[in-house]
Structures are given as structure tokens and as C-alpha cells.
Amino acid sequence: MRRFIDSLLGRTRTEPPKGERLFAMATAHVTLQTSLGLEPDRMAGITFRPVSSGYFEQAAEELNQLLEISTQQSAATFRTTTDNFGFDWIILDDADFEDMVATIHVVSTTLMEHQFGDRILAAVFRFKDRNGRSVYWFYNFRQGAYYPFIPTGKQQRDNAEEMRLANLMGRELPVEKELERWYPMWEIPF
């Protein structure tokens, strides 16, 4: 509705498409590291719900080929796994954080081009705080927004620190405003 009203009034939106907002992390990781003491990890992943179809298998094969080519040109590696909830994961290990963000973008774009964009759950970037604790930043493709997730134990999380980080990073990252959309992911496979 908003787009319709904007077009009637001759207004244009300057906000990037949701898939392109993923790239905000390519620069935000510097602030996360220098200002907040969160060291970017070599690991990141993208998770999606697979479909039993030949067309999906074809898209998955294309993804594998793209990832093979991408990792041959760098020191990066990747692996795939399925979690306990039936979601497939592509997990990247790359020392170059910007390349990792770009590779996740290629994976998401390929899935979207094959009409499987609605199957993507999230991109997940892992950082370590000063105490060695994992701090994850999730990118929800449907919402086009990031939110932090800090697991502290079995089915427990540090909500106060998550909110603090989201407030501090709101200028650099499109942060999800609705807290009920800050879904936890337990048992992240990296």
C-alpha cells in the first residue's frame, strides 16, 4: 500500500532492496570489531528449507558449482549440513569477511533466481566477544533486517546485551524493530 501511495504522489524510495541490505554487514563488521570488541569469526552460514523437487535439486547443484569455483579462487572452504529441524545449511569458512558476505549474497541470489527465495530462513554471521562467547548476527531475508542473538546456555539467551548491540548498531545495520521477530536459533551448526 505504501508503494502505491508513494507512486501516486511521485515519491521514490531510496531504501535498497531487501536482498541488497545484506551487504551492510560488509562494512558494519569494522564497527562491531573496533567499537564493540566483537571479533569477526571465519565462519558464517545461510540456512534454508529444502524442497523435494528436481528443480530444487538443479538449483542446489548450481549452488555447489558456484561455491566450488568461488573457493578455488581463495583460501575459503564450504560445507553443507542439515540441522535437527530439517533446514539445510551452507557454512563458509573464510578469513576475508567481505568475501564471505559476498558469497552468501551469491547463494541467496541464486536461490531467489530459481524462485526459492521464500525458502531462505537467514544468513548467520558469528562474532566472538572479549570473553570468547559467540555473538551471532542474523539477517532475515523476508524482513530485510538484522538482529543479534547471544545464546548463554540451553534455550537461554542474553536479551539485554542483544538489545544493547541492536541499539548501538542501528545506524549501520537495518536492525529489525519488532522484537518478536528476533527468533532464536538453537544448535547452530558452527
Domain ranges in the chain are 19-175
Task: Read off the pLDDT of residues 144-166 as tens digits, 9 standing for 90 and up.
Answer: 999 999 999 999 999 999 999 99
What count of other Cβ atoms lies within 10 Å of the Cβ of residue 129? 16
Tell me the average pLDDT of the chain.
Answer: 91
The predicted pLDDT at position 18 comes to 66
Residue-wise pLDDT for 169-189, tens only, equals 999 999 999 999 999 999 999
Task: Give the pLDDT confidence score for residue 74 in this predicted structure.
Answer: 81
More confident residue, 134 or 17: 134
Residue 156: per-residue pLDDT: 97
User: Cα separations (Å) of 52 from 57, 58, 109, 126?
Assistant: 8, 11, 20, 30
Fold for the domain defined by 19-175: Alpha-Beta Plaits (3.30.70)
Whether the per-residue pLDDT at 7 is higher than 80: the answer is: no
